[in-house]
Structure formats: structure tokens, C-alpha cells
């Protein structure tokens, strides 16, 4: 038998199972991501039955998160945010910083080392771009247009602040292998590379615009290559490098076309990313992790949802404050990347890692459903024709 047949069969079967799991989740009024996570749990080494090849799945999931954050970086339009939602430019960074500080202080108080506490605090502070996009596109949504635009803009700015904080914290975490000045020098050198890419890539894509296959190949390859070079050569975390790579070309005329053509690939690989997260949940450690899960979920409410609600009211944004705050009330893909880096560096233990992964799953499910339950001022009904979560 062909040596590649079994891995191909496994990937196909997992994607079919994920599609079925997503379909069932939607029929139950839950986001499809919950179904993907449960499929991952079902094929993990920690549950009875079939066990998927974790190494293969994690490689595809890494591709997914790179394309996901590359596309998120492309989507950033700071000029438009400044023009249309000026208060977001201070309210969203304030939320990210305050949430990180409050959650970090809580974990510092329960005995975590300062750097580890700050990393976990940042995990709590950041929301899931994928979930927020799904919230704004779901056919079951009750959000109005102003709240949807503000949610997307808040998420983008939150990612920008998160990238800056993560770069500093991860450089400090890596200080045993490289000194902090060396790590920061690597980040600066990668920044120079990103500027070069920002100048060269749009020129190349412009020449390939009518060559649809080559345009797509160049778009996907550029995201993967920039992320890979950032990680291998400059020591920048893979996901962080992908986001910066996307951010570098966001101002070009070709950015929108790149994003449009990347979306189908991103969606397929993002499914594998959430399945891979599900495979990491170890139920045998869940009992020990429950206190940390409770603390993380409480901090999402207190340090993020409540803080975001207060800042929206202070900023005077013309949105539904509670709905926007609940829409931000989850931790997602970038937080998972930070937690993975922390556990790999022995900054946090496996129990806390399982708690963070579990909180990702629970907070995504709860926020995606709860945001629909916030009534509009006149009983807003869901929009027709939009894709479901």
C-alpha cells in the first residue's frame, strides 16, 4: 500500500468528522467550533478509540494558524479605524493592557512567577479573531451593524497590542537561550524584513493579478515563507511572524484580493487547528485543572468583559456596550499560541496548560451563544442570508 494513503485517509476522515460535528453543533444552537473541538477530543490519545497522528495534525494546524494570522494581519486597516472609530484607538489598547494587568496580578497572587503570570494574563486579554468574525456573520446574530464593525475593529487593535506585548514577553521568556537584547535585535531585524516584503510583494502580486493560479500560490507561499523565516532566522514565534507579515502588506491595493483568495484555505486549515486543540485536552488532568479553569473563566468576565463594557461606556461608542463586551468574552487562537510557548519553556505546567485549553473551548461556546441573547433596543431579529457560526 502507498505509504501516504493512510495519512491522506486520516486527514479526509477527520475533516468529514469535523464537518459532521460542526453541523450537529449548529443544529443545537452552538458554534461549529465546539463541534471541531469535540472531534479533536474524540481522536486524542486521552480518550478511548481511534487515535489520530498528532504530529501530522499539529503540522497542518500550524499551517492553519499561520494562514489565519497572516490573513488577520492583512485585514488591519488603521487608517479606516482612525477615521471611522477614533475612540477605539485608545479604548481597545486600554482593555488589552488592563485585562493583562488584572489577570496577571491574579495569577501572581496564586503563586505563578511574574513572567508566567504576565503571559497567562495576556492569554486572558486577547479574544479570538475567528470567533468574532463568525459572530458578526452568523445568520443567528442579533448584533447591529455598528456593533459588528466595532467588534471587528476592537479585535484587530487588540491583536496589534497583543503582538507588541507578546514580542516583549516571549523575548524575555527566551532569555535563557538568547539575551533580551539579542531577542529584541532579532525582532527589529524581522521588522526590517517585513518592510522589504511590504515594498516587494505588492509589486509581484500586481504582475500576477491576471494569473489566478500564480497569484494564489504566491499569496499562500509568501505568508508561509515570511512566518518561517521569522521563526527560523530571527527567533520570532511562528504565529507572531505570520501576523506581522500580513500587516506589512495591508496598505497595498492587492491586500484585499490576497485576503479573498486565502479565505478558503484558511477556513480548511483553521478547522484542523481547532481539532488539534481538542486533541490536547487531557481529561485525566481536568479534575486538577478545574480550579484554574474557574479562575480563568472568572477573569474573562471580570478582567475583560466588565473592563470592555466600562471602556465602551466611557468612550461613548455608538454600539451596544454589553453585546460588544460579551462578543469579546473568549480566549482563542493567539492565546493558545502563547500558552504553547509558555509550556514549552516550562514557564507553566501541564495542568495550567490543560486549564487554558479547556477555557478556550468553554469561553468560545459560551460567548458565541450569550452574545445572541443580548436584546437590541427594539428586539432586533437575526439577519437573513449570512453564514451561520
In a domain, 383, yes or no: no
Domain that holds residue 105: 5-373
Residue 356 within a domain:
yes
pTM metric for this prediction: 0.80
We report the CATH number of the domain holding residue 234 as: 1.20.1530.20
Span 27-51, pLDDT tens digits: 887 778 888 888 988 888 878 878 7
Spatial separation of the C-alpha atoms in residues 111 and 117, rounded to whole Å: 9
Domain annotation covers residue 384: no
| HSE-up (13 A, CA, CB side) for residue 321 | 13
Quick check: helix, strand or coil at residue 102?
A: helix
Q: Decide: 308 and 71 in contact? Cβ < 8 Å.
A: no
pLDDT in tens, 260-314: 777 777 777 778 888 887 887 778 888 899 999 999 999 999 999 999 999 999 9
Q: The dihedral of CA 96, 99, 105, 107: what is its sign?
A: negative
Residue 146 placed within a domain: yes
Is residue 23 included in any domain, yes or no?
yes
167 part of a folded domain: yes
Residues 329, 366 contacting (CB under 8 angstroms)? yes
* pLDDT at res. 355: 92
Count of domains observed in the chain:
1
Give me the percent of the chain exceeding a pLDDT of 90: 22
Average pLDDT, the chain: 81
Cβ atoms within 10 Å of 191's Cβ, excluding its own = 16
Cα–Cα distance measured from residue 143 to residue 149, given in angstroms and rounded to the nearest whole number? 10
DSSP state of 385: S
Alpha helices (runs of H) in the chain, residue ranges in sequence order: 5-27, 32-42, 54-75, 78-84, 88-109, 114-125, 129-137, 145-173, 180-207, 212-234, 238-248, 255-279, 283-299, 306-315, 321-327, 333-344, 350-370
Task: Render 187-232 in DSSP notation, one character per residue.
Answer: HHHHHHHHHHHHHHHHHHHHHTTT-HHHHHHHHHHHHHHHHHHHHH
Distance between CA atoms of residues 297 and 330, nearest Å: 9
End-to-end CA distance of the chain: 39
pLDDT tens digit sequence for 133-148: 778 877 777 888 888 8
Question: Is 106 inside any structural domain?
Answer: yes
- Examine residue 182 and state whether it is found in any structural domain, yes or no: yes
Q: Are 323 and 263 in contact (CB under 8 A)?
A: no
pLDDT tens profile 177-194:
666 677 777 778 888 888
Amino acid at each position: 500500500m502507498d505509504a501516504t494513503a493512510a495519512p491522506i485517509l486520516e486527514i479526509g476522515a477527520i475533516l468529514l468528522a469535523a464537518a459532521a460535528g460542526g453541523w450537529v453543533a449548529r443544529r443545537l444552537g452552538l458554534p461549529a467550533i465546539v463541534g471541531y473541538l469535540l472531534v479533536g477530543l474524540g481522536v486524542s490519545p486521552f480518550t478511548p478509540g481511534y487515535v489520530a497522528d498528532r504530529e501530522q495534525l499539529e503540522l497542518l494546524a500550524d499551517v492553519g494558524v499561520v494562514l489565519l494570522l497572516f490573513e488577520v494581519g492583512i485585514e488591519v486597516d488603521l487608517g479606516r479605524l482612525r477615521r471611522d472609530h477614533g475612540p477605539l484607538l485608545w479604548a481597545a489598547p486600554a482593555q488589552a493592557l488592563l485585562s493583562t494587568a488584572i489577570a496577571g496580578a491574579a495569577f501572581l497572587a496564586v503563586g505563578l512567577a511574574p513572567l508566567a503570570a504576565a503571559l497567562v494574563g495576556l492569554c486572558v486579554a486577547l479574544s479570538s479573531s475567528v470567533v468574532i468574525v463568525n459572530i458578526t456573520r452568523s445568520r443567528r446574530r442579533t448584533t447591529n451593524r455598528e456593533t459588528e464593525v466595532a467588534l471587528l475593529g476592537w479585535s484587530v487593535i487588540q491583536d496589534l497590542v497583543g503582538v507588541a506585548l507578546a514580542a516583549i514577553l516571549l523575548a524575555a521568556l527566551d532569555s535563557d537561550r538568547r539575551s533580551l537584547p539579542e531577542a529584541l535585535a532579532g525582532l527589529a531585524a524581522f521588522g526590517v524584513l517585513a518592510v522589504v516584503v511590504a515594498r516587494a510583494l505588492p509589486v509581484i502580486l500586481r504582475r500576477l493579478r491576471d494569473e489566478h493560479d500564480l497569484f494564489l500560490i504566491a499569496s499562500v507561499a509568501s505568508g508561509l515563507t515570511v512566518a518561517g523565516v521569522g521563526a527560523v532566522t530571527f527567533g520570532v514565534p511562528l504565529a507572531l511572524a505570520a501576523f506581522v507579515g500580513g500587516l506589512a502588506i495591508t496598505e497595498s491595493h492587492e491586500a484585499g484580493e490576497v485576503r479573498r483568495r486565502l479565505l478558503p484555505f484558511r477556513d480548511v486549515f483553521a478547522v484542523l487547528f481547532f481539532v488539534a486543540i481538542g486533541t490536547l485536552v487531557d481529561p485525566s488532568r481536568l479534575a486538577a485543572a478545574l480550579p484554574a479553569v474557574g479562575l480563568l473563566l472568572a477573569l474573562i468576565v471580570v478582567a475583560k468583559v466588565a473592563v470592555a463594557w466600562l471602556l465602551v461606556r466611557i468612550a461613548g461608542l455608538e454600539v451596544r456596550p454589553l453585546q460588544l463586551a460579551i462578543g469579546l468574552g473568549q480566549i482563542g487562537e493567539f492565546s493558545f499560541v502563547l500558552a504553547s510557548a509558555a509550556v514549552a519553556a516550562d514557564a507553566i505546567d501541564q495542568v495550567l496548560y490543560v486549564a487554558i485549553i479547556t477555557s478556550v473551548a468553554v469561553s468560545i461556546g459560551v460567548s458565541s451563544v450569550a452574545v445572541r441573547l443580548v436584546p437590541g433596543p427594539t428586539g432586533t431579529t437575526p439577519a437573513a442570508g449570512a453564514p451561520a457560526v
